[in-house]
Amino acid sequence: MRKSPYQMLGGEAAVERLVQEFYDIVESDPAAASLLAMHNRGHGLAHARQVQFEFLSGFLGGPQLYFERHRHSNVRQMHAHLAIGTAEKDAWLACMDKALAAVVAESETRRLLMGHFSRVAEALRNQA
C-alpha cells in the first residue's frame, strides 16, 4: 500500500514541526519580509500557524482539520483577498524549501512535497 504524503512526512507531529519551522523562517529571513507583512496585515502569524497546520494536515492526506472547521478547503478562496505575484510565490516556496530541509531527512519526500507545493503556489498567483 502506498503511503500518503502525510504519512511520508511523519504524521501530525511532523506537520506541526514543518509549519513551526516554516513560520520561524518567515519571521526571521529578510527575504520573506513581504510574506511577514502580508500575514501581519491579516490575522497574524499565530493564526496563520494554526490554519496552515490544519490545512496541510488534510492537503497531505491526513485528517481534514481545516475542512471540519471551515466546511471548505478551497485554497484559492482562502487567498483570494491577497495580491500574490511571482515574488510572493517564490518567497513562500523558498521558505518552505528551507523548512522541509530542516524537518525532512528523506530527499525524495522533500522533492515530492515541493512538487505539490509548487503547483499550488503557482495556482495562487493572481498578479503579473
Write the CATH number for 78.
Answer: 1.10.490.10
HSE of 51, CA atoms in CB hemisphere, 13 A:
17
Q: Residue 108: inside a domain, yes or no?
A: yes
Kindly indicate the confidence band of residue 76, based on its pLDDT and cuts at 50, 70 and 90: confident
Q: Does position 115 have pLDDT exceeding 90, yes or no?
A: yes
Q: Residue 101: inside a domain, yes or no?
A: yes
Kindly indicate the confidence band of residue 60, based on its pLDDT and cuts at 50, 70 and 90: very high
Q: How far is CA 21 from CA 3, 94, 95, 98, in A?
A: 23, 13, 9, 8
User: Averaged over 99-127, what is the pLDDT?
Assistant: 95
Q: Residue 88: inside a domain, yes or no?
A: yes
Q: Find where cell 510572493 sits.
A: 88
Q: Residue 51: inside a domain, yes or no?
A: yes
Q: Residue 114: inside a domain, yes or no?
A: yes
Kindly indicate the confidence band of residue 68, based on its pLDDT and cuts at 50, 70 and 90: very high
Q: Residue 1: inside a domain, yes or no?
A: no
Which triple of cell numbers denotes residue 93? Answer: 516556496
Q: How large a percentage of the chain has pLDDT more than 70? A: 100
Give residue 30's domain range: 7-124
pLDDT value of residue 79: 85
Concatenate the DSSP letters of all residues of 23-42 into one string.
HHHHHH-GGGHHHHHHHHHT
Outline where DSSP puts E strands in the chain. none
Q: Residue 61: inside a domain, yes or no?
A: yes
Q: Residue 13: inside a domain, yes or no?
A: yes
How many structural domains comprise the chain?
1
Q: How far apart are CA 123 and CA 120, in angstroms?
A: 5
Which residue in 40, 37, 75 sits closest to 54, CA to CA?
75
